[in-house]
Structure 1
Amino acid sequence: MPSAQEIVQSFEELRTIPHIALRVCQLISHEETTIRQIEETIQLDPVLVSRILRMVNSAYYGLRKPIASLPKAIIFLGLKNLRNLVVIDALRGVFLREQSNGTFSRKQLWIHCTAVGVCARMIARRLLGRTGEDTFLAGILHDIGLIVEDQTHEALFREVIERYRAGTGLLIEYEQELLGTDHCAVGEALAARWGFPEAVQQAILHHHTAIEHEAELQQMPAVLQIAHHIANTAGYQAFSEKTDPPLGIIVDHIQQQAVEYQALTEAFCKEMEKAARLYEDEGI
């Protein structure tokens, strides 16, 4: 059976993700990179320049005066937010490219991933006092391994989903049985290849790992699991027919802070309505 790294290598050989987008993400991950280097790299792809400007000037950001130049857009966004928009732009085309085999809906999975990212960032900001941009990235990418598996091992992946829907086990259990790995490990390997922060890699790897202590609830993997549960409850499931049950410690934690999470959930639903065009519309 192939390793997670071998599956990622096969995925990269398909050239699914634009090279310039990957290069921009890698540059941003290095502290010595200059704004000028990032700007020059983005300018190699005029379509990406146009999309960044359209996203910055979208209703989501609500600017009174439009931003007309890439340098100003970069300064306005900040590097981590820019990185996240580049990732969104690159992945949106992959997720929204529906498969004809009827295994699952890539669009539904993309909406689920963006919902988890948005909710995770809100938890980081509102409840943990963090900026949340790395947490958002981890949320956006947490299920990217499913797309990689579908792209590289379509027949086996289809069987994984069929068994998952018909059975009582967890998704990762069927993945490990048929593929020898799971989307958590594949996603972590891909995030490492793309040069994303170690914390993001580990959050992707452990977003289905059991949580044993309350102290872990403030760490990024647990934040993803909390966001995952809230997103699912709000109707943003990855699969319509079935979803893995949340850990008991996650449910207890939310119940213990019911007032805070009720307010956060209401704000999250409004944020998803506001962000829908930014995350879902290919034509933006």
Structure 2
Amino acid sequence: MQEVTTKADVRPLSLSQIQAQVARCPSLPSLGSINKALQELLGAEQRYSAQISEIIRRDPSLTSRLLRLVNSVYYGLAQPVNSIEEAVFYLGIRQIRQLALVTPIIEDFQRLTRQCQFPWREFWQHCIGVAILTREVLSTVQTPMDESDYVAGLVHDVGKIVMAWAFPDHFAEIHRQAVAGTRDLIEIEREVLGMDHANLGGLYLERQRLPDLMIQAARYHHQPEKAERYQALVASVQVADLLLRAEGIGCSGNFVPVTREQCQNSAGWHVLFPNPRESDQAIALASLQRSLERLPHILEGLV
């Protein structure tokens, strides 16, 4: 193993030191209760556009994201949309629900990361891109029943956000080493901090008493075969993460190049396709390629 030189004031920490600092990390209210009024309305049998628009109008940040998204190149509208009612009509219930999820969570995340220099905008694009693509990946093998797959993808890298808040010096040193793209981020994190972002994210979400599905996705998205539960979902998060890195969409903070072959050879791909037929894989890859081509335009509208 190559010798790694770190700054003199940055040393690996013990598990107890890491746990004590994570205990001080603020909770994220958005993860516990996400825009409940809108969620209930969207889940109702009768969805009235005017009612949905009225609830959205109360949240300026959600309104801004909604109008940016609907006017993005992806939708190719001849005239700009300036009214919330029109935006709701064009986007549909699923996109509105996803926007309602992403807006408060990203804003909470941003409050935790202000003191660290990092390509955060590209990082948020990575997180949202993984959320969107996780559903597409999971849909190749089963029908998603709710938005849990989207949330799992969205919070998979929460450990990096916790690291930036709780251990800013370690985070900066890890980023300094990672940008060379010669060593995997997980390896650098373990050497510099003493714990990688996946375990750190799982630890944080556990302390916040959040659903096990989110904990599993954060802790095992690099090793989905080790997930005790929700293995197909966690595998979908890993595949989505790798595909975005392979396409260069957003920035996860891991600068080691990824190929399409590595995506298909990943543990997550084998969990999803344990007895792969070439025809099944070809259909899945063609569907995912179409989603990947649309993603940059969608993300421009969201972040």
TM-score over 0.5 (shorter chain):
yes
Q: 1:106 to 1:269 in 2, by over 3 A?
A: farther
Say if 2:213 is the partner of 1:199.
yes
Say if 2:291 is the partner of 1:271.
yes
Question: Match of 2:150?
Answer: 136
- Asked if the contact 2:130–2:237 (Cα under 8 Å) also holds between the matched residues in 1, the reply is yes
Say if 2:170 is the partner of 1:156.
yes
- Asked if the contact 2:53–2:84 (Cα under 8 Å) also holds between the matched residues in 1, the reply is no
Question: Match of 1:256?
Answer: 276
Q: 1:48 to 1:112 in 2, by over 3 A?
A: closer
Compute the displacement of 1:266 (Å).
3.8
Question: How do 1:1-284 residues align onto structure 2 when only pairs under 5 Å count?
Answer: 1-3=17-19, 6-7=21-22, 9-12=24-27, 25=34, 27=36, 44-52=58-66, 55=69, 73=88, 78=93, 82-90=96-104, 91=106, 94=110, 101=117, 104-131=118-145, 133-164=147-178, 170-188=184-202, 191=205, 197-209=211-223, 211=225, 219-236=232-249, 238-239=252-253, 241-242=255-256, 249-250=267-268, 253=273, 256-281=276-301
- Asked if the contact 2:39–2:97 (Cα under 8 Å) also holds between the matched residues in 1, the reply is no
Compute the displacement of 1:146 (Å).
0.9
Partner Cα distance (1:9, 1:275) in 2: 36
Compute the displacement of 1:81 (Å).
5.5
Gaps in structure 2 of 5+ consecutive residues: 1-16, 45-51
- Which amino acid counterpart does residue 218 of structure 2 have in structure 1? I
- Asked if the contact 1:207–1:221 (Cα under 8 Å) also holds between the matched residues in 2, the reply is yes
Q: 1:159 to 1:54 in 2, by over 3 A?
A: closer
Q: Deviations 1:47-71 (Å, cap 9, x if unpaired)?
A: 434534654676757899x79568x
Matched residue pairs, number?
A: 271
- Asked if the contact 1:176–1:182 (Cα under 8 Å) also holds between the matched residues in 2, the reply is yes
What SS class does the counterpart of residue 2 from structure 1 fall into? Answer: helix
Which structure: larger Rg?
2
Question: Match of 2:6?
Answer: none
- Asked if the contact 2:181–2:256 (Cα under 8 Å) also holds between the matched residues in 1, the reply is no
Q: 1:226 to 1:198 in 2, by over 3 A?
A: same
What SS class does the counterpart of residue 219 from structure 1 fall into? Answer: helix
Compute the displacement of 1:242 (Å).
1.3
TM-score, normalisation: structure 1: 0.65
- Which amino acid counterpart does residue 36 of structure 2 have in structure 1? L
Partner Cα distance (1:56, 1:191) in 2: 32
Compute the displacement of 1:230 (Å).
2.7
- Which amino acid counterpart does residue 25 of structure 1 have in structure 2? I
TM-score, normalisation: structure 2: 0.62
The root-mean-square deviation of aligned C-alpha atoms, in Å, is 5.1
Q: 1:230 to 1:48 in 2, by over 3 A?
A: closer
Compute the displacement of 1:202 (Å).
1.7
- Which amino acid counterpart does residue 238 of structure 1 have in structure 2? S
Q: 1:137 to 1:22 in 2, by over 3 A?
A: closer
What SS class does the counterpart of residue 225 from structure 2 fall into? Answer: coil
Partner Cα distance (1:189, 1:116) in 2: 21
- Which amino acid counterpart does residue 268 of structure 1 have in structure 2? L
Partner Cα distance (2:38, 2:301) in 1: 27
Percent identity of the aligned residues?
Answer: 25
What SS class does the counterpart of residue 211 from structure 1 fall into? Answer: helix
Q: 1:168 to 1:28 in 2, by over 3 A?
A: farther
Partner Cα distance (2:292, 2:181) in 1: 31
Q: Deviations 1:226-276 (Å, cap 9, x if unpaired)?
A: 222333333346246315876754465499344434443343343344343
- Asked if the contact 2:178–2:184 (Cα under 8 Å) also holds between the matched residues in 1, the reply is yes
Q: 1:192 to 1:40 in 2, by over 3 A?
A: farther
